[in-house]
Amino acid sequence: MLQTGQQQVIIVPQTVNAPVPKSAASHTVALKARLQTLLAVPVATSVALAVHLCLPNNELPLEAHLYSQFLAAVLGAALAADIIHFIWPGLRRWMRHMCPIFAAAILTLAGWELITGILRWLPLPYFPAPAAVLQSMVDDRALLFDSTWHSLLLLLSGYVLGVVIALITGVCIGWSTRMRYWGMPLLKVVGPIPATAWIPLAMVVSPSTMFSAVGLIALAVWFPVSMLTISGIANTRASYLDVARTLGAGRWYLIFRVAIPAAMPSIFVGLFMGLGTSFLTLVVAETVGVKSGLGWYVSWAQGWAEYGKVFAALIIMAAFFSTIMTLLFKVRDRVLGWQKGMIKW
Amino acid sequence: MVTTASTEGSSLRILGVSKSFPAPGNAAVHNLALDTITLSVAAGELIAIIGPSGCGKSTMLRLVAGLDAPDSGELWVGNDPITAPSAERGLVFQDPNLFPWLTVSRNIQAGLIARGLLHKKRPEVNEFMRLVGLEAFAHAYPHHLSGGMAQRVALARALINHPKVLLLDEPLGALDAFTRMRMQDEVLRLWQARRTTMLLVTHDIDEAIYMADRIVIMTPHPGRIERTISVTLDRPRQRNSPEFLRLRSDILEQLHFAGNAKGETNGRTSLDNNVDVDSVGKSNKPPFSPPDEPTTAPIMSGMTGTQD
């Protein structure tokens, strides 16, 4: 910083109104930061391309094209963004935030290729190089898409069913002491059993595996959501209820316009926990019973020892689940916008 | 100084009301929070209730609000007995207790929605927002408001129901001295405009003298009305007029006595009868000469709030 400041002082004296060295220094710092933003992704992509193309690769050369095309496309997009960002401030802000993490992701790809394809530190059939994974993802895209679609349907029907039942039981048990007396023991005894432990029974009882899978996911969601709904409702600040009563509120106003909104932060904690357990139950149910979906795809591909497809499905699963998680966060941000100091996803 | 427009207020009678609570940690023992309290309030009157902590002031307000039921005795608003909470008895706490998930305007609407009157009375929402000077904050959430603003919303929320009795439980206690004085004027303005009967619980003697028609002094263990003082100073009152200050020191002495001699029954009251005040307290204890030194008992330190 000091050095750059001195440089400026040496250069500047030609002009009469020399800028203060300090601001000149901060200007150079800003320029450096901007250069870092602009160069991060292109440099990382070039490194990945170099690793892929220049180092001796032991895998099938056939698969190489797609991956290098992919990297070239990323490089092209990064360079295009570098140009556009000069005229689009929104993109500039976004890039300043996102470029480092993109660069890190691409370098991770390069590292992965280095370890698997080139140095061969990991046993091959189980750990394919990124090029092979990308190739299987594209080759098997129809079946992957179909699996994702079925997973989505199963997940949503189970999750929504579980949440609806949990909200009803949660509000009833949280609000009424009599319901709490009868409902709480059931919840305490049945709730903690992991939903997957019911699989043997569910297979026998229900008419179809699809049906039992929906029930299992709903059960997995039901426990955390109803538990946190109960605690949210039961812990509604007494003074809110007192105020509402003196404003003329009847029972329904107290439940739906005071207790439930007051419990919302707690309910959302339950919804997130329920979403986590629903992912787990979905994948287990698909692995052992249901004949479709990403969980099924993973175990099917493993059966054929096609680990490229296994990794492809895992990557899609990661994107799929985190998209759903992000959507739930968006809903929460909308619903709980009134809260102070919320953590953003 | 009563420029009565139309009186929205209603008279209030508290007849021989007692209320006890189980002692903390020992449910078998009951503490008497209120011991056969009798107080009658005229329609449109503003009553201040002062007294040390534990004298049952807030319990009394909760009973009038209908949030708790008395062990014995009766409470009447106009010709109706109090049996349950109702929109005709509004309650404002020290904490504004705004619903944090509703905007300012929706908080003010809450009472109308609760009573199913929103579609009929929607214009009143803006009127009340103007009344408390918060139109600009209609769409703000409570966590954006300052303490004084939040308390103004709480007042508007209670007033939109046109309560016959407004119960104020230390509503200005959490505000800084300057905001508090401004809010006192604001509450007085609302009171004078609507002539709502008001019961104001406060720790602040100046506030009581500045605002009230009558001051009820309570003593703890068990909660009893020690004395009732009518304040006949002209409004708007001067916070540093000699009469004001004299009345203030009298009440301080009264509370000094109340603070030190709890449980004693040999009654020593101190109230100059030549002040601009007539004592209509139920107390039948003889007057006595004031103590030698000015009252600076520890219990006072928190009560001398807004003296300028």
Å from A260 to nearest chain B CA?
11
**pLDDT beyond 50 at B301:** no
* CATH code where residue B116 lies: 3.40.50.300
HSE-CB for B157 with a 13 A CA cutoff: 36
In this prediction, residue B6 has a pLDDT band, given cuts at 50, 70 and 90, of low
- Asked, for residue A12, whether it belongs to a domain, the answer is no
Q: For residue A14, is it within any domain? A: no
**CB-CB neighbours of A335 under 10 Å:** 15
* Domain assignment of residue A306, yes or no: yes
Residue A182 shares a structural domain with residue A74: no
Contact at CB, A242 and B86, closer than 8 angstroms: no
- Confidence at residue B268, expressed as pLDDT on a 0 to 100 scale: 36
Instruction: Look at residue A6 and tell me if it is in a domain.
Output: no
As given in the structure block, the two tokens for residue A326 are: 């992000």
- Residue B101 to residue A264, Cβ atoms within 8 A: yes
At B3 the pLDDT is 43
Give residues with Cβ within 8 angstroms of B293, minimum separation 6. Answer: none
Using the 3D structure, point to which of A61, A94, A127 is the last residue of a domain: A127
Q: Which domain holds residue A189?
A: 141-335
Strand B197-201 to strand B224-231: parallel, antiparallel, or no bridges (unpaired)?
A: unpaired
Label each residue of chain A as H, E or C.
CHHHHHHHHHHHHHCCCCCCHHHHHHHHHHHHHHHHHHHHHHHHHHHHHHHHHHCCCCCCHHHHHHHHHHHHHHHHHHHHHHHHCCCCHHHHHHHHHHHHHHHHHHHHHHHHHHHHHHCCCCCCCCCCCHHHHHHHHHHCHHHHHHHHHHHHHHHHHHHHHHHHHHHHHHHHHHHCHHHHHHHHHHHHHHCCCCHHHHHHHHHHHCCCHHHHHHHHHHHHHHHHHHHHHHHHHHCCCHHHHHHHHHCCCCHHHHHHHHHHHHHHHHHHHHHHHHHHHHHHHHHHHHHHCCCCCHHHHHHHHHHCCCHHHHHHHHHHHHHHHHHHHHHHHHHHHHHCCCCCCCCCC
Q: For residue B96, what pLDDT is reported?
A: 92
Q: Which residue in the set A246, A261, A340 is minimally distant from B65, CB to CB?
A: A246
Residues A118 and A230 in one domain: no
Which range of residues forms the domain containing residue B142? 12-302
DSSP-assigned beta bridge partners for residue B49: B201, B216
Residue A344 covered by a domain:
no
Q: A98 Cβ partners below 8 Å, 6+ apart?
A: none
Give pLDDT, residue A238: 93
Residues A310 and A173 in one domain: yes
Domain C-terminal end among A127, A155, A179: A127
Residue B191's H or E segment, with its range, is helix B177-194
Q: What is the pLDDT of residue B134?
A: 87
Please provide residue A125's backbone torsions phi and psi, each rounded to the nearest 5 degrees. -60, -25
- Domain assignment present for residue B274? The answer is yes
Boundary of a domain, candidates A127, A149, A174: A127
Confirm whether B50 is domain-assigned: yes
Q: Is there a domain that residue A13 lies in?
A: no
If contacts are CB pairs under 8 Å, which of residues 123-162 in chain B contact chain A?
Answer: 141-143, 157-158, 161
What's the one-letter identity of residue A268?
Answer: F
pTM of the model: 0.79
- Which residues does chain A have within 8 Å of residue B168's beta carbon, measured at their own beta carbons? none
How do strand B277-279 and strand B46-50 relate by DSSP bridges?
unpaired
Give the strand order in the sheet containing B72-77: B26-41, B12-23, B72-77, B80-81
Helix A21-54, helix A89-113: angle, nearest 10: 40
Is there a single domain that holds both residue A36 and residue A175? no
Is position B220 within any domain? yes
The verdict on A113 and A148 lying in the same domain is no
Q: Is the pLDDT of residue B5 over 70?
A: no
Q: Is residue B2 part of a domain?
A: no
Facing residue for A248 by CB, picked from B102, B115, B143: B115
| Residue partners of B35: CB distance under 8 A and separation at least 6 | B18, B222, B223, B224
The Cα diameter of chain B in Å comes to 64
More confident call, B214 vs B127:
B214
> Cβ of B114 and A338 within 8 Å?
no
Domain presence at residue B7: no
* Same structural domain, A105 and A232: no
Q: How far is A233 from chain B (nearest CA, A)?
A: 15
Question: CA–CA separation, A263 vs A272, rounded Å?
Answer: 15
Q: What is the pLDDT of residues B9-34, one digit of tens each?
A: 889 999 999 999 888 888 788 888 89
Domain contains B5:
no
Q: Flag whether pLDDT at B289 surpasses 60.
A: no
Whose CA is closest to B216, among B279, B285, B304? B279
Domain count, chain B: 1
In whole angstroms, give the CA distance from residue B43 to residue B14: 14
Is residue B281 in some structural domain?
A: yes
The whole-number pLDDT of residue A167 equals 96
The reply to whether A215 and A287 lie within a common domain is yes
Residues A199, A295, single domain; the answer is: yes
Q: What is the pLDDT along chain A (345 residues), one digit of tens a residue?
A: 344 444 444 444 444 444 455 566 777 888 888 888 888 889 999 988 888 888 776 655 555 588 888 989 999 999 999 888 888 888 888 888 888 899 999 999 889 988 887 888 888 788 888 888 888 888 889 999 999 999 999 999 999 999 999 999 999 999 999 999 999 999 999 989 999 899 888 888 888 888 889 999 999 999 999 999 999 999 999 999 999 999 999 999 999 999 999 999 999 999 999 999 999 999 999 988 888 899 999 999 988 888 889 999 999 999 999 999 999 999 999 999 888 665 555
Binary contact (B67, A246; C-beta < 8 A): yes
In this predicted structure, what is the pLDDT of residue A126? 86
Total domains in chain A come to 2
Pairwise CB contact (< 8 Å): A240 & B99: yes
Chain A residue with CA closest to B162: the answer is A247
Inside any domain, residue A8: no
Q: Number of Cβ pairs closer than 8 Å across A and B?
A: 72
Task: Write the pLDDT tens digit of every residue in B219-241.
Answer: 888 888 988 999 988 888 988 89
Distance from A87 to chain B by nearest Cα, in Å?
Answer: 35
Residue A59's pLDDT is what?
Answer: 55
Tell if the CB–CB gap between A247 and B90 is shorter than 8 Å.
yes
Q: Is residue B299 within 8 angstroms of chain A, CB to CB?
A: no
pLDDT value of residue A221: 96
A182 and A109 in a common domain: no
Cα A171 from Cα A228, distance rounded (Å) = 10
The reply to whether B77 falls in a domain is yes
- Which positions in chain A have a beta carbon within 8 angstroms of at least one beta carbon in chain B? 237, 239-240, 242-250, 253, 257-258, 261-262, 264, 336-340
Query: Are A226 and A326 members of one domain?
Result: yes
Residues A252, A295: one domain? yes
Please tell me the distance in Å from B261's CA to the nearest CA on chain A: 33
**C-alpha distance from B158 to closest chain A C-alpha (Å):** 7
Q: Looking at residue A60, what is its pLDDT?
A: 54
Whether residue A159 sits in one domain with residue A122: no
Q: What is the mean pLDDT of chain B?
A: 80
